[in-house]
Structure 1
Amino acid sequence: MSEHPPDLSSLPLFADPPPVADQPPARHATPAHRYVHRERSVGAGGSEQRNGDARNIARTPRQADVRLDWALVRAFRQLAADQLAAALREREGLDEAARHELGRGIVLNLLSEHADEEMAAGSETFSPDEQQEFAGAIFDSLFGLGRLQPLVDHPDIENIEISGFDNVHLIYSDGRIEAGPPVADSDEELIEFLAFLASRSGGSERPFSPANPRLHLRLSGGSRLAATAWITPRPSAVIRRHRLTDIDLADLVARGTMDKALASFLAAAVRSRRTVVVSGGMGAGKTTLIRALCNELDPMERIGTIETEYELHLHEMPDRHERVVAWEARPGSGERGPDGKSVGEITLDDIVYDSLRYNLSRVIVGEVRGREVLPMFKAMQAGAGSLSTTHARSGRAAIERLVTCAMEAGPHVTEQFAYRQIAEHIDLIVQINMEDTTSAIGHGAQRRRFISEVIAVEAGEHGMPAVTDVYRPGDDGRAVPGTLPQWLKGLARSGFDIDSYTGRVA
């Protein structure tokens, strides 16, 4: 605790905090309701920034286990949010960086006013370390993920599972499972925060209410959130972090996902405009593999990505992809109209139709989970070299999965039609698996991700797909050479090391 209010201009607010071991215990803060009336203290624009320049504040991740008075954080977040909203009404057109700068100024002024009031009342004020953590928590609640932010910032956490505010599990990249800290003070507060996240997502706002109890949301930084409430005993959510975004096939070879010969085969298949579907289980690495395949393309090739939520992020890698048009579907809200769509809804089908006017060299449709397989087929018809992912336990099972997804569109899609689309438009299915090397899940388990098979697809009798095992599972489950169809031998012209392949055939 401090007898004098800290000089905010000297604090490394939103910067590296001291080590956790050096953090003081949480201050017994004044009840939050005492400060709610103080909205008058700072102008809407946050212009009276007396004790620091927000432009010089650089925010970095905070420690996950620092104790804070979250009721007080919520109160200040509400004050800051109200003042920020008023300021933005007067300053339309600000980009994200400018909004963040404005918000930092408002937070600093609120804390400065708080310190002055505490001093005037003869109370102890926050220490510099406490001030830093408190400011970071307010900023995270305003622009980030609040109490979830330190968990999402952790480099080794892969998934965050939430089954109620105080039932949190952290899944690490090596397979460990550990209990996490509460992410709210009640289930009601958790639901409120999820709705807040959904409402502030820029141009991709999602409804989250008893009438719309399911939420799928792209978070800042590229993570993906899925949540439900009102249809589950407690609010539930999963956050999946994309740890590997800027990655190529050479990186996956180094990680043991495949060998060099298989990498050369896949790279040649993409360059020669073969249509590829990557299949696998949840968390197997399908999206990561698609990113790596895309990074084998010429940086000047014009690409369109079509996703329910942004996950590929090719448009955020201009050094690898200079000409990208990225689309994200929008669910809409309210009752459905005569066309079966909610107000404001933009479907994958709508986007595929629009994409035909964008002079694209190839179209990449993200994960296929249901009837969006039909837009995928349309994208494949529009141009060769499409890429996509789906959930399946094997390459052959992926074919059946795609047929089932297609038939979900309605009775107008027959089984025969779906099989014919697969036979005509898909060239290769790549199966990627994830295994834990021990049975002690959460207690020293190690995960390994690897490609187990690659099957070639072509039209057979009566339009049914005929498959060839180009790579099949070996004794350890990893892909080993099988049979190379004649039509794939031409991949040698695109860099496929065919001698290495034929020299290893069992």
Structure 2
Amino acid sequence: MSDSWPPRKTSDPAVPFGEERAFREAVLAITTSIADDLKDTEDRKAALQVVQTQVQRWVQEQVAAGKVVSFTAQRRLVEAVVDERFELGVLTPYIRDRRVESIDLNGCDQVWITYNDGSCHRGPAIASSDDDLIKMIQMWALHKSYNPREFSAANPLLNAALRPADGDEGVGVRLSATMSVTPRPCASIRCHRLVDVTLDDLLKLGTINRSLYRFLRAAVLARLNIVITGGTAAGKTTLLRALASEIHPAERLATLESDYELFLDKLTHRHQNVIAFQARQANSEGAGGIGLDDLIPHSLRKNIKRIIVGEVRADEIVPMFEAMNTGHPGSMCTIHADGTEEIFNRIVMLWTRGVGSQTPPAVIHLNTGQTIDLVVHLRLDPSTNTRFVSEVLEVLPPADSELPSRNHLYRPAGPGGRAVPDITPQCLPRLKAAGFDPALLDPISARWEPR
């Protein structure tokens, strides 16, 4: 091997595939050889010494085989192995690039990087084979996940929140991976850049305008139960974090998630008294699983004032509604839905999917109308990759039909479908008591500033 190996950067598209593959194979071989030595350590300094020693041994083997490895190559090998163990290997530079929103892997050599302007570009191969990619994902699930997760033929579906890289505490990383059920192992990595986010930040970004800023702030302070809806990547989790930033720092909260994404317990300057719950997947025998529907009732025994569910997907909707109706006003959650009118049928579907499968839809709609106060809907503009609030719905008990009554407080009548006020809410007295100025419901006061 000469000074030209390994290539200058494994992300350089001009690097011959053979050289890049050789580099990745060397990194994986060294990483695998020290896996047991570094199994339980999180001490990077101690790990660095182990890595340097093993790289030296590897270099000696190459020299004995008649190959030359430059000092530059050795240094890069050490860095790459450390990244492989503590970060996400060759993907680490992309995770640290604040322009990157997601990374999709369709096998080891089909890598697609999506940026915050909506553009998508082909990235370098991440591993030399699909088997090596599986090993890498298994390493991430074991060492980078907040709770170790199994990824194998017995458990081919993986969802995990990964710990941020050193110096990147403001980034949340979510991993979803599959094997066996797809022709090749696949993974998607989503980077949440706005973890420590406020409504002020969303106002500056254009997600909300001044009227919505004051309205949503008052809704949180008035302890209204809020459901955030939207499609995939519409910004639901980001808005949930921003709403939570308006809660008094000393108020005792519980966050409940399938995989950690909210990280309110890490933002101690904003939230001083938080219990963060995460569901636990069952083992390969199907035992030991703990779902959100188990955690929500348990959390209510912890003197919680509000509960915040990252995403309601199934059985947890029943205990979530019970919590909202039994002394925990001001609770919040997100639900995947493509519009505010779809939320009611979506709730029925989620409810009947689990323990409430025998509950008549009319009873579910009555519970919905008595529990939820507001639905805030987000939309993603695919042409500009911008997110914004498009609708706000006030939810009331059923009146003339089985469905809950509702007032379209903000309709998508602004630029590009952005929300503008339409009708005075019945909850206005509660909002005014929390400091909301009704004049902000005037269409002129509620205009969106051009961006």
- What is the TM-score when the length of structure 1 is the normalising length? 0.79
Contact 2:282 2:289 in 1 (8 A): yes
Contact 2:226 2:376 in 1 (8 A): yes
Distance 1:263 1:198 in 2: 38
Given residue 311 of structure 1, which amino acid in structure 2 is its aligned partner? E
In the other structure, the counterpart of 1:433 is 379
Change (3 A) 1:297 1:114: same
Change (3 A) 1:492 1:503: farther
Contact 2:87 2:144 in 1 (8 A): no
Q: Are 1:125 and 2:49 matched, yes or no?
A: no
Q: Are 1:74 and 2:39 matched, yes or no?
A: no
Q: Are 1:418 and 2:364 matched, yes or no?
A: yes
Within 5 Å, give how 1:44-63 maps onto structure 2: none
Given residue 76 of structure 1, which amino acid in structure 2 is its aligned partner? I
- SS of 2:36's partner is helix
In the other structure, the counterpart of 1:394 is 339
Shift of 1:181: 1.2
- Among 473, 487, 496, the residue aligned to 2:412: 473
Distance 1:249 1:63 in 2: 39
Given residue 455 of structure 1, which amino acid in structure 2 is its aligned partner? L
Within 5 Å, give how 1:72-221 maps onto structure 2: 72-85=26-39, 88=40, 96=42, 98=43, 100-114=44-58, 124-128=68-72, 130-201=73-144, 204-221=147-164
Given residue 78 of structure 1, which amino acid in structure 2 is its aligned partner? T
Shift of 1:480: 0.4
Give unpaired runs (5+ residues) of structure 2. 165-171
In the other structure, the counterpart of 1:359 is 303
In the other structure, the counterpart of 1:27 is 6
In the other structure, the counterpart of 2:210 is 260
Contact 1:455 1:469 in 2 (8 A): yes
Contact 1:261 1:497 in 2 (8 A): no
Change (3 A) 1:150 1:454: same
Distance 1:201 1:417 in 2: 43
Shift of 1:115: 5.0
- SS of 1:227's partner is strand
Cα deviation digits, residues 235-282 of structure 1 (max 9, x gap): 221111101111111111111111111110000000111000010010
Moved more, 427-436 or 353-362: 353-362
- SS of 1:204's partner is coil
In the other structure, the counterpart of 1:308 is 258
Identity %, equivalent residues: 37
Contact 1:407 1:418 in 2 (8 A): no
Contact 1:277 1:428 in 2 (8 A): yes
Q: Are 1:409 and 2:348 matched, yes or no?
A: no
Cα deviation digits, residues 355-388 of structure 1 (max 9, x gap): 1121111000111223332232233234111111
Within 5 Å, give how 1:293-332 maps onto structure 2: 293-332=243-282
Q: Are 1:455 and 2:418 matched, yes or no?
A: no
Given residue 299 of structure 1, which amino acid in structure 2 is its aligned partner? P
Shift of 1:495: 2.3
In the other structure, the counterpart of 2:330 is 385
- SS of 2:68's partner is coil
- Among 231, 235, 247, the residue aligned to 2:181: 231
In the other structure, the counterpart of 2:167 is none
Given residue 291 of structure 2, which amino acid in structure 1 is its aligned partner? T
Contact 1:64 1:150 in 2 (8 A): no
Given residue 447 of structure 1, which amino acid in structure 2 is its aligned partner? N
Cα deviation digits, residues 96-145 of structure 1 (max 9, x gap): 3x3x33212211222344456667888533223x3332112101212222
**Alignment root-mean-square deviation, CA:** 2.4
Paired positions, count: 427
- SS of 1:334's partner is coil
Contact 1:208 1:215 in 2 (8 A): yes
Q: Which has the larger radius of gyration?
A: 1
Distance 2:255 2:210 in 1: 27
Distance 1:475 1:501 in 2: 14
Contact 1:458 1:466 in 2 (8 A): yes
Cα deviation digits, residues 266-320 of structure 1 (max 9, x gap): 0000011100001001001000000100011111111100000011111111111
Shift of 1:416: 2.2
- Among 431, 439, 451, the residue aligned to 1:499: 439
